[in-house]
Structure 1
Amino acid sequence: MVIYPDPRIVMSVPENTSVPGWAWRQYLAVRESFRDVRDRLKHERSVYIMAGLGLALLSLGVAVFLVERANMPAGDHSNWIDTIGHALYWMFVTGTTTGYGDYYPHTGVGRALTVLFLVGSMVLTSIMTATIASYFVERRLMEGKGMEKVSWRGHTVICGWNVNGRDLLEGIYRETRDSAQVVMVNNLPEEEVSELLYQFARQGLRFVRGDFVHESVLGRANCALAATVVILADGVIHNGFAGADERTVLCALAAKSMSPTVKVCAELVDEKNQGHLRRAQVDHVVVLGEHDDYLLSKAVAAPGVAVAFQEILNPVRGPYIHQARIPAQLVDQDFAALHRYFREKRGALVIGVVSEEERGMNLEDILSDDMSAIDQFIKRQFEGMEGDYFHKSGSIKLKINPPDSYKIQKNDVALIITSESSGNP
């Protein structure tokens, strides 16, 4: 059973199809969007009024055509409405109030019907304009209240909120040069949400209201197609973040059940709960205030270390710590060559290497090389559904100050300290 981005869609991928699981999910999501539009139109009285007016106008146009053709004199009738094609063209030009005058009714009855046609056209245009405008206004209001579903993919979802939330948003937009697509999921007061949406309007910040531990709420944030989910310790300091860790674990489980490959970063209040998040396959865990004691002790015994940490972690003044791509010519070279390259080219200090190792499995991992009959049977059964049953994700490995003889690998990324505000050239 597969859980799709919209919580109303729960459907297994058909066994007799070769369509990949992700493509099937996309198809179902698009189909559900059309159903939403259809269901909304069903309950709009204006739609039925417009349909009735449209049929009435069509009938009037046909009546004008019949009257004009029945009374058309012999001889030249180049500007008479004498064919169905001319009638449709005349209805469109007249209904849009363009009125070229190349075709028009000549009889008294035809002109009387034209007056009715013009009045009906103006009413239809007014209703259509009002309906379209109200739809977009309602959608904007729903977005502002956090009730509209997000259609992004590959975005970042921030679940929960605390005093560090605003700094987190500023950091994400700063590191991505305002290119990140971010969705907040929380129950903040409307005044605070409006202030955040106004502050980050240029970056296109979106908001979803609701309890982030529920899959239906995460579904409105399109969590199943997100690239990253960040779970903040939800709460405020004066009440001790009551129940924050429990909600963080529930949110992590829900996010991973909707998309096993999504990257989940979680903030904890009590470090003793890290085991629960590890079992939920959370990719990165940060404990709230975990370095406070270390910095305070260093401020007493070695104040230079405390100041250095504060300077490096300061997002405004710098120096900055970044990940930077390693040029292809340095692959298989030693760490000393990498250090010299960044020092000479960018004046940066390389302090380590970050690498991503794959974990998990895919379909090929369980098949043997000779493709026996059993292997072929297994492949047929799972073909098109690999994304639902198999997945691989990355495990971050960090090597701080490796020896000069360390050989740079293809997937390695340099960890540097630099005066530049952006890590990658």
Structure 2
Amino acid sequence: MTTTGYGDLFPVTQLGRIFGSILMISGVLTTGMFTASFASMLVATRLQAAQGLSVLSYRGHIVLIGWNRTAEAVIHGLLSASVRRPQIVLINELPIEQLQEIKFRYRSVNLEAIRGDATHEAIIQRANVREANSVLVMADTSSGGSGAAVDDRTLFVALAVRDAAPDAKLSAELLNPDKEGALRHAGVEEIVIAGNDTSFFLASSSLAPGLARAARQLLTYGSGRELRRIEIARELRGLSFGEARQYYRIVDGSMLVGIISEGAVVTIGDVLGSSTDWVDEFIRTAFTQTGRDVVAQQGDRTVALMPPPDSYVVGNKDFGVVIGGRPL
């Protein structure tokens, strides 16, 4: 360690003093250069993050691609629906100033942004979509364009995501249902049609006052009565849906109203149960005569039974749909 005259050891010869002076000056210069390089690296990293140019290494995160007027509501929903706040990564082409404003508003949560065209695989790979828990493709209206053009872009983005991350859980939003079939072929598992529920809310507000308000509570995170998907307790697997429903009503006050099966084979018996109603008997007989009893077999996709009969046996790949209660 080089000292400046206050050390216990110091050179006494002329050559030693010259060498000590050189060592002292070079040490100061080296330390300064290292500090400047480190500071420059930190500044460059911060600038890249601020401009949406970062390359992320997250795992188990949620990627939200595109932007429209409902995007912030989606972010609020993701934060409200999760017991642990998820890591959220945005990919869009918003102006840098707007991206910085969004990140500032959500500075208390783990939110990052990548700026670029998500139809290019290099852009979505910067978000590490291969390791993402799920990917949501919004109908991107931030740059204008007609409904058809927006939906075409959604399809292109979905294809790019599926190519970069074949196993990712992929959801997408459409403005019109025309591209729904194409999105299914692209491997999109969940498709939401914008405004698809408007007719229900308008009609029910006129014909069944109060029903729209009740439905809104079911669809609003944080209402205390929202629909939630839960992992069914291990001890309930192999029991009937009726027994599982009573269990949750007693344990946490929630109401089990449905079953979601992942990669399930749903038979006619699952749907009709042991009902002896003449209509159910007719349907059961018709399926028997065809030599098959499978209603749906959707591979990796999900099948929702709302509600199944009380006699339905809860399987290993089943999840519950509950109203209210508290997260277990």
Fold agreement, TM-score > 0.5: yes
- Any residues of structure 2 matched to 1:90-239 within 5 Å, and which? 93-94=1-2, 101=7, 103-235=9-141
Larger Rg belongs to: 1
- Whether the 8 Å contact between 2:264 and 2:303 is mirrored in structure 1 is no
SS at match of 1:332: coil
C-alpha distance in 1, partners of 2:188/2:145?
A: 26
CA distance 1:238–1:302, shift in 2 (3 Å): farther
Q: Which amino acid aligns with 1:205?
A: L
Q: Which amino acid aligns with 1:402?
A: P
Task: Provide the residue aligned with 2:195 in structure 1.
Answer: 289
**If the length of structure 1 is used for normalisation, what is the TM-score?**
0.66
Task: Provide the residue aligned with 2:261 in structure 1.
Answer: 355
- Whether the 8 Å contact between 2:48 and 2:54 is mirrored in structure 1 is yes
- Any residues of structure 2 matched to 1:312-351 within 5 Å, and which? 312-351=218-257
- Whether the 8 Å contact between 2:94 and 2:142 is mirrored in structure 1 is no
SS at match of 1:303: coil
SS at match of 1:203: coil
Q: Which amino acid aligns with 2:158?
A: A
Moved more, 227-236 or 393-402: 393-402
C-alpha distance in 1, partners of 2:246/2:179?
A: 42
Cα offset, 1:101, TM superposition: 3.8
**If the length of structure 2 is used for normalisation, what is the TM-score?**
0.84
Cα shift readout 1:89-121 (whole Å, capped 9, x = no counterpart) = xxxx12xx5999465423122112211211111
SS at match of 2:99: helix
Task: Provide the residue aligned with 1:253 in structure 2.
Answer: 159
CA distance 1:162–1:177, shift in 2 (3 Å): same
C-alpha distance in 2, partners of 1:415/1:278?
A: 24
- Any residues of structure 2 matched to 1:17-96 within 5 Å, and which? 93-94=1-2
Aligned residues: 296
C-alpha distance in 1, partners of 2:299/2:36?
A: 49
Cα shift readout 1:320-349 (whole Å, capped 9, x = no counterpart) = 211222222211111111111111111111
C-alpha distance in 2, partners of 1:222/1:196?
A: 21
- Whether the 8 Å contact between 1:268 and 1:286 is mirrored in structure 2 is yes
C-alpha distance in 2, partners of 1:177/1:199?
A: 21
Cα offset, 1:282, TM superposition: 0.5
Q: Which amino acid aligns with 2:141?
A: G
Task: Provide the residue aligned with 1:24 in structure 2.
Answer: none
Cα offset, 1:317, TM superposition: 2.8
C-alpha distance in 2, partners of 1:237/1:142?
A: 23
C-alpha distance in 1, partners of 2:64/2:304?
A: 25
C-alpha distance in 2, partners of 1:98/1:260?
A: 63
CA distance 1:99–1:401, shift in 2 (3 Å): farther
C-alpha distance in 2, partners of 1:405/1:243?
A: 47
SS at match of 2:136: strand
C-alpha distance in 2, partners of 1:337/1:243?
A: 49
- Whether the 8 Å contact between 1:178 and 1:203 is mirrored in structure 2 is no
C-alpha distance in 2, partners of 1:181/1:306?
A: 33
C-alpha distance in 1, partners of 2:85/2:299?
A: 24
Q: Does 1:310 align with 2:219?
A: no
SS at match of 1:230: strand
Which residue, out of 297, 302, 317, partners 1:411? Answer: 317
- Whether the 8 Å contact between 1:299 and 1:305 is mirrored in structure 2 is yes
CA distance 1:408–1:100, shift in 2 (3 Å): farther
SS at match of 1:415: strand
SS at match of 1:211: coil
Aligned Cα root-mean-square deviation (Å): 2.2
C-alpha distance in 2, partners of 1:279/1:208?
A: 27
Task: Provide the residue aligned with 1:52 in structure 2.
Answer: none
CA distance 1:221–1:236, shift in 2 (3 Å): closer
C-alpha distance in 1, partners of 2:191/2:141?
A: 17
- Whether the 8 Å contact between 1:320 and 1:419 is mirrored in structure 2 is no
CA distance 1:114–1:245, shift in 2 (3 Å): same
Unaligned 5+ runs, structure 1: 1-92, 360-391
SS at match of 2:119: coil
What percentage of aligned pairs have identical amino acids? 31
CA distance 1:287–1:279, shift in 2 (3 Å): same
Task: Provide the residue aligned with 1:401 in structure 2.
Answer: 307
Cα shift readout 1:277-323 (whole Å, capped 9, x = no counterpart) = 00101111000110101110111111222111112112233312112
Higher helix share: 1
After the TM superposition, which segments of 4 or more aligned residues of structure 1 sit over 6 Å from their partners?
none
Cα offset, 1:237, TM superposition: 10
Q: Which amino acid aligns with 1:204?
A: N
Which residue, out of 267, 292, 306, partners 2:173? Answer: 267
Unaligned 5+ runs, structure 2: 266-297
- Whether the 8 Å contact between 2:242 and 2:310 is mirrored in structure 1 is yes
